[in-house]
Amino acid sequence: MVEEDPGVSIGTLARQSGCKIETIRYYERIGLICSPPRTAGGHRVFATADRKRLTFIRRARALGFTLGGVKELLRLVDSGAYGCAEIHDLAAGHLKEVRGKIAELQRLEATLSDMTSHCERGERPDCPIIDALSDSLVGKPRA
């Protein structure tokens, strides 16, 4: 029962995982994935496990996890005996952050929306948007 894993080049892995070549090398450099074996000429040879790991990373990143968060997730997965609890807490914590960002952006949206609605693109020199940003008048730079 010899399980052969022919191995793929970094370019093939990039196509399979959806990560760019440079990103894969970057992940290796920062220790997110392990350094793969090389050919006699020095080219990286990746295994199926690497494709799965990279796909995992890409999906977690797409959900907005930081690389630090991804590292945590992978650490739990790598440890084997992960319980749902820790994973859940990581995801819940991230969800909270995302909701915070949404709330913040919605505040900006309201302000910007209000500002632009008050400015009807008129040709008056006293633009309400500028007024809102200015302290009565913006200091011009030294001539």
Partner DNA sequence: CCTTGAACCTGTAGCGACTACAGGAATGAG
Partner DNA sequence: CTCATTCCTGTAGTCGCTACAGGTTCAAGG
Site residues (vs DNA, CB under 7 A): 9-12, 14, 20-23, 25-26, 38-44, 61, 66-68
Task: Give the nearest distance from C-beta 23 to a copy of itself in angstroms.
Answer: 17
Cα distances from 46 to residues 19, 32, 39, 51, in angstroms, run: 14, 14, 11, 8
Encoded tokens for 119: 């400015």
Rounded Cα distance between 42 and 122, Å, is: 64
Q: Within a 10 A sphere around the Cβ of 74, how many other Cβ atoms?
A: 16
Interface with a copy of itself, residue 15, by CB under 8 A: no
For the segment 42-81, give every residue that binds a copy of itself (CB under 8 A). Answer: 47-53, 55-56, 59-60, 63-64, 73-74, 77-78, 81
Report the amino acid identity of residue 36. Answer: P
Q: Is there a contact between 69 and 60 (Cβ–Cβ < 8 Å)?
A: yes
**Which residues bind to a copy of itself, rule: CB under 8 A?**
33-34, 36, 47-53, 55-56, 59-60, 63-64, 73-74, 77-78, 81-85, 87-89, 91-92, 94-95, 98-99, 101-102, 105-106, 108-109, 111-113, 115-116, 119-125, 127-130, 132-142
